Structure 1
């Protein structure tokens, strides 16, 4: 797996894009009309039935996998959204309505049309249901139990059209005064490439293999082994891991939660700062626990390899932030930027970064929020016309997804200090 090329979605015709735009508008209008009717009914009859909290998730599912992915990210942010909304969005992690048996059989029949059916037994009731694929339990002819990930039929065209539309919108944004130096289109293209890559189950198998090799030294991480001899087009076969529990505080003691969250942090820091192969989708639907409190990561669809220069610059920024060195952070941001105008107010920009880093220094998870921090950072860049490198979106996405989980487990963890040993090792090498 090499460095990600800076390319976006495949070329999509205007007809398909207009069709998807019509679907967006029709879906939003339909759900908006139903929501307005329910609101009016509640006002006329206070004892009337309350609307379900699934309306938003139902709309996102109707819009398709592109929007489900956005909802999954938001569902992890209990620090930013009301608990009832996070609970509703949490349904999107692995409880999206499954495809029918006929759809699953269609994909599998096509995948093994020119080879022997590798399964002795196959349970067509999905054990997990995601926006892009469903997971089933099966048994190979040699007796091994396996998990089988089956991609939903005909979603490739829809997702490519969605990102093509988002790209067009980003191009329009870049023409707005004050936004012309914001690389919105390039950011959409890069995020689109990473998300659309989740359609490629061969790439996911390769990512699983790489993550297993990289994290071998962390005995508390478990990643299923892909079985390429049993895979097919649109079908990924992996070893089945027994006895998994949901990843959450549950009945864990405070000390168990404290230890567990640090294990996860150290694994993510190794991905970010040492390996450069980053899992950007560590939400509760992809994380599980064994009875021995091992962390199991089941999905490797949204995995990105960072450019070595970006990896080092991100490590330098994080280390300087951990040490409260705002001036050094400002220099890293300037060095990593795509464009710094000759007339930029660099003194004001540096002062703003120093203030931002000083306010964040040595804050625990419960005292720090990455989303407002990143918003303030990008606002400083925008006001100074300093164009940020879009590559930094991937490490930020990884940490944003993770941050909600960290706060749920241990608000007292000093995530900056926990990163320092890994950062020092990374920057020495």
Structure 2
């Protein structure tokens, strides 16, 4: 729990940054102020939030980068502000880096490398990269973890978990599982500290893109990993000569193709490589920002930095493919149904209200040419509608949306004439054919035939069992009808009132009969008692009905 009277130096530093930027809601959380259960987290403007995260240091920059992958939680302007968030971290001195490298190698550094450039070619919040040459003459990139970063990460993760516990006590925290988000961040950050895991992702992506029906695999490059030199804190990979794609100056002529033709072919290659990852492989590079897409000197395209990846299971791939088609068709009803199929179970949602929200959202695209529609922006709006209806979607939907947004942004910047629909349409038939028949149509047909054979063999026996139970009166039906209990209670109350009214009426009739034939004072007394009791019970019944509508 945070408080001003008992804090660590790191907590005090966080409080000072929050105070200095005027974030009142977070100030209340940190100082133990009053934040009610129904208080919505009051975020500062996007630029201020970005500034706070940068000032708090590398771990919080990583948190911002993770939040930029969750458009299902944050509005679009926040996602945009956090997308290119980078820590302003200077490179660590070579003397410290050299010690780290020597500790990770299984043999002396001098026996492995003929030279290492002591100046980092890139520096990030977790690691920095140096260029080196192996004794064999091959140029490689050394990604080295910053010394001491594990201690900082452990401290900041503990603080973020504490903050998540505080926010979880609000309705917002319950609706969006802030504690789960904090755990997801902790898991992702701890995985990022293990470079052997990133090396595994890089190898898997390299294998997946080595074959394709949609593009020439020789034109896409993922760096090769040198596993004998790679460890948890050091990753050694193939050095690729090139520049970021958006900075590339295409030659006037290459292989008989002018610059415009090359640009179009590279954009198509980029799209098809990522569409295969998303809709075929189910394993995708989740951070295709301009710095991770390189144009190599030989004209090929390279994908770098596989530290952030996403996964989609076959069912989700199918739903997202249909969602893409529903967006193209501007079909609000289908979008609503597919959103509920994606949603985590157990969430009461009104389908009609959701469809109406989608209809209002898609209506503005009715008179716009499909070639002008920004599909990633539409999908962000789909997630916004889901968020407004308090629908909790799997976290990989955020990664999927961010990947599409980054991909579309790079493609439009590189080739402003790109028509995304023209890039997608040739692949849609293949995608639906694959979903219908699978990768091996013959195997799918044989499996279906076996299922039909099993059904035909089992059905007579199951029908015989059903008829046997019906005739022997041993069949039981377990039926659960929603809202049946309130209906049962209402009928019980009505029956009670009716019975009570009959009793009151009988008392009145009995009293009248006794009064008309009363011969003695005792009979008159009984008659008066019955009349009084009936009047009291009748008055009680009337008041009960008027006050509560049901007899208690």
| TM-score, with length taken from structure 2 | 0.60
Match of 1:289, SS state, is strand
CA distance in 2: counterparts of 1:66 and 1:304, whole angstroms: 21
| Structure-1 residue corresponding to 2:99 | 106
How far residue 387 of structure 1 moved from its aligned partner, in angstroms, is 2.6
Unaligned runs of 5+ in 2: 1-6, 23-46, 70-75, 212-216, 251-258, 439-552
| Structure-2 residue corresponding to 1:158 | 152
Shift in CA distance, 291/307, structure 1 to aligned 2, threshold 3 Å: same
Q: Which structure carries more helix by proportion?
A: 2
Within-5 A mapping of 1:274-353: 274-339=280-345, 341-342=347-348, 344-353=349-358
| Structure-1 residue corresponding to 2:234 | 235
| Structure-2 residue corresponding to 1:397 | 402
Contact kept, 8 Å, 2:132 with 2:139, in 1: the verdict is yes
May I ask how many residue pairs the two structures share in their alignment?
384
Shift in CA distance, 179/70, structure 1 to aligned 2, threshold 3 Å: closer
CA distance in 2: counterparts of 1:23 and 1:371, whole angstroms: 37
Shift in CA distance, 171/210, structure 1 to aligned 2, threshold 3 Å: same
After superposition, give the CA deviation of every residue in 1:264-284 in whole Å (9 maximum; x if it has no partner): 121111111111111111112
| Structure-2 residue corresponding to 1:26 | 16
- Out of 141, 146, 155, which is 2:135 matched to? 141
Structure with greater Cα Rg: 2
Shift in CA distance, 73/341, structure 1 to aligned 2, threshold 3 Å: closer
How far residue 140 of structure 1 moved from its aligned partner, in angstroms, is 1.6
After superposition, give the CA deviation of every residue in 1:98-133 in whole Å (9 maximum; x if it has no partner): 111122112112212x53332222221112222221
Shift in CA distance, 419/24, structure 1 to aligned 2, threshold 3 Å: farther
- Out of 243, 246, 263, which is 1:245 matched to? 243
After superposition, give the CA deviation of every residue in 1:115-154 in whole Å (9 maximum; x if it has no partner): 3332222221112222221111112222222111111112
| 1:205 lines up with 2:213 in the alignment | no
Shift in CA distance, 66/411, structure 1 to aligned 2, threshold 3 Å: farther
CA distance in 2: counterparts of 1:322 and 1:297, whole angstroms: 29
How far residue 319 of structure 1 moved from its aligned partner, in angstroms, is 3.2
- Out of 394, 409, 414, which is 1:409 matched to? 414
Contact kept, 8 Å, 1:31 with 1:59, in 2: the verdict is yes
Contact kept, 8 Å, 2:68 with 2:402, in 1: the verdict is no
CA distance in 2: counterparts of 1:331 and 1:125, whole angstroms: 54
| Structure-2 residue corresponding to 1:47 | none
| TM-score, with length taken from structure 1 | 0.75
| Structure-1 residue corresponding to 2:221 | 222
Aligned-residue RMSD, C-alpha: 3.9
CA distance in 2: counterparts of 1:364 and 1:101, whole angstroms: 53
| Greater relative contact order structure (CA < 8 Å, 6+ sep) | 1
CA distance in 1: counterparts of 2:376 and 2:406, whole angstroms: 10
CA distance in 2: counterparts of 1:226 and 1:257, whole angstroms: 29
CA distance in 1: counterparts of 2:99 and 2:386, whole angstroms: 50
After superposition, give the CA deviation of every residue in 1:55-104 in whole Å (9 maximum; x if it has no partner): 9988755533333346669999xxx88xxx98x996938x8521111221
How far residue 330 of structure 1 moved from its aligned partner, in angstroms, is 1.5
